[in-house]
Amino acid sequence: MKDKRVYAAIVVALACLLPLGLDEYKLHVVINSLFYVMMASSWNLLAGYTGQVSFAHAAFAGIGAYTSGILSVKAGFNPWAGIVIGMAAAGFVGFLVGVLCLRMGGIYLSLTTLGFSEILRIIITNEYEITRGTMGLQVPALMPVYSKTAYFYIMLGAAVLSLIVIYKMIYSDTGLNFRAVQNDEKAASSLGVDVVRIRVMAFTVSSILAGMAGGFYGHYLLLITPEIPSLDQQFLVLSMAVIGGLGSFVGPILGAFTLEILAEYIRGYGQYHVLVFGLVALAMARFSPRGVMGIVSDYKRRRNQSLIAAGELRG
C-alpha cells in the first residue's frame, strides 16, 4: 500500500515534466489521453465493479460539457463554476438513470442506457438555438491567455483527483460491496448489502466523474459538439476499459493512453480506429474478460504457483 503510493507519486511527478519534452501536437495527444483516463476509469467503476454495463457514459460527459458550456456562454458563468454545476447536473441525471435501471441487468440495462444516450444526442443536435447543433458551441477558455501547457496541468490535476476518488472507493468497504453486488445481488442482500443504494451510488459517482471529464475537455477544445456524447465516443471508452482490464484500477489508465496514442497513428487511414478497437475489445471480452491486466495477474499467479511447487519439490 505504502510503496504503491510512492510509485503513484513518482509517475505523477514524471508526468509533470512532460511539457518540457513534447511539442504542441504531442501535448494535445496527452491531454486527450488524460480525458480518456478519466472516462475509462470512471466507467470501469460502474461496469467493472458493479457489473452495470452502461452505454450512457459519454452522454454524461456531454451533460457536463454542455451544462458548463451553455452556462458560461449564455449566462456569463465563470467556466470553473460551470464545470462544478455540470458535474452536479451529470450526477443528478446519473442518479435518475441509475434508479430507472435498478431492476435491470445485463443486456436490458445496456439497451436502456444506449437509448438514453441517443435521445440526448438527438436533443442536443436539434436544439440548435441553445446548443448550435452539429456546428458546435464555442465556449470560453479556463484561463485569460490560452496556454496548452496550463491545460495539460489542469487536465492532469483533474485526472489525478478523479483517480484518487476511484481508488479510495474501490479499496474501501464500498468497493467490496460493489463487487459483492456484481457477483450476486441476492446473496449480497441476504448479508445486509443495500443493493439499491450501492447500484445507484455507483451510477451517481461515475456520472459526476464523467461530467467533470466532459466539462474540462469542453473548455479545453473550446468547441463542444455532439461528438462528445456520441456512441463512437462511448465505444472508444468501452474499448479502452475492456482492453486495459475491467475490474482493475490500472487497466483502464493503460488502455486509455495506449488506444488514444494508437488512434492518432491509425487516424491517417480514415475513421476506422473505433471499429478496430471495438473488435479487439470483443475478442478480449471473449477470451480474457479481465483484459490485459487479467492476463498479467494470471501469469503472475501461475509463476508464483510454479515457484511454490518447485520449492516443495526441492523440499
Partner 1 sequence: MALLDCVQMSKRFGGVPALQDVSFSLNKGEIVGLIGPNGAGKTTLFNLVAGAIKPTEGRVFLKEIDITGLPAHRICRFGIGRTFQVTRPFAELTCLENVGVAIINRPRKLKGESWREKGMEYLEQVGLLQEAQTRAGDLNLIAKKKLEMARALASNPEILLLDEVLGGLNTQEIGQAVSIIKGLRDALGITLLWIEHIMGAIMGAADRIILLDQGRKLLEGTPAEVVRDERAIRAYLGED
44 touches partner 1 (CB under 8 A): no
* Least distance to partner 1, CB of residue 172, Å: 9
Residue of 78, 134, 138, 183 interacting with partner 1 (CB under 8 A): 183
Which residue in 18, 33, 11 sits closest to 260, CA to CA? 33
308 touches partner 1 (CB under 8 A): no
- Which CB sits closer to partner 1, 192 or 315? 192
Q: At CA 23, angle to CA 18 and CA 24, rounded to 5? A: 105
- Which CB sits closer to partner 1, 68 or 177? 177
Options 69-77, 82-90, 176-184, 267-275: segment touching partner 1 (CB under 8 A): 176-184
Options 115-123, 139-147, 192-200, 266-274: segment touching partner 1 (CB under 8 A): 192-200
Residue of 176, 279, 307, 309 interacting with partner 1 (CB under 8 A): 176
295 touches partner 1 (CB under 8 A): no
Q: Which three three-digit cell numbers place residue 50?
A: 458493479
Q: Using CA atoms, how far apart are residues 206 and 248, in angstroms rounded to an integer?
A: 15
Cβ contact 91:208 at 8 Å = yes
190 touches partner 1 (CB under 8 A): yes
Residue of 3, 23, 129, 173 interacting with partner 1 (CB under 8 A): 173
* Least distance to partner 1, CB of residue 74, Å: 44
Q: Using CA atoms, how far apart are residues 189 and 182, in angstroms rounded to an integer?
A: 12
- Which CB sits closer to partner 1, 174 or 258? 174
- Tell me, what amino acid is at 117? S
Options 34-42, 64-72, 152-160, 170-178: segment touching partner 1 (CB under 8 A): 170-178
Cβ contact 214:202 at 8 Å = no
Residue of 33, 177, 207, 234 interacting with partner 1 (CB under 8 A): 177
* Least distance to partner 1, CB of residue 138, Å: 47
Residue of 26, 28, 148, 179 interacting with partner 1 (CB under 8 A): 179
* Least distance to partner 1, CB of residue 290, Å: 9
Residue of 76, 144, 192, 268 interacting with partner 1 (CB under 8 A): 192
Residue list 246-265, contact with partner 1 (CB under 8 A)? 247
* Least distance to partner 1, CB of residue 300, Å: 14
Q: Which three three-digit cell numbers place residue 102?
A: 435498478
Binding mask 198-217 for partner 1 (x = CB under 8 A): --------------------
Helical H segments across the chain, by residue range = 2-21, 24-50, 57-74, 79-100, 106-126, 128-131, 148-170, 173-183, 185-190, 195-221, 231-244, 250-266, 273-287, 291-314
**Number of residues in contact with partner 1 under rule CB under 8 A:** 20
Q: Using CA atoms, how far apart are residues 123 and 140, in angstroms rounded to an integer?
A: 23
* Torsion sign, CA atoms 292, 297, 300, 306: negative
* Torsion sign, CA atoms 39, 46, 112, 116: negative
* Least distance to partner 1, CB of residue 228, Å: 33
Cβ contact 97:162 at 8 Å = no
Cβ contact 146:220 at 8 Å = no
To the nearest 10°, report the CA torsion of 151, 217, 129, 231. 160
Residues that bind partner 1 (CB under 8 A): 173, 176-177, 179-180, 182-184, 186-196, 247
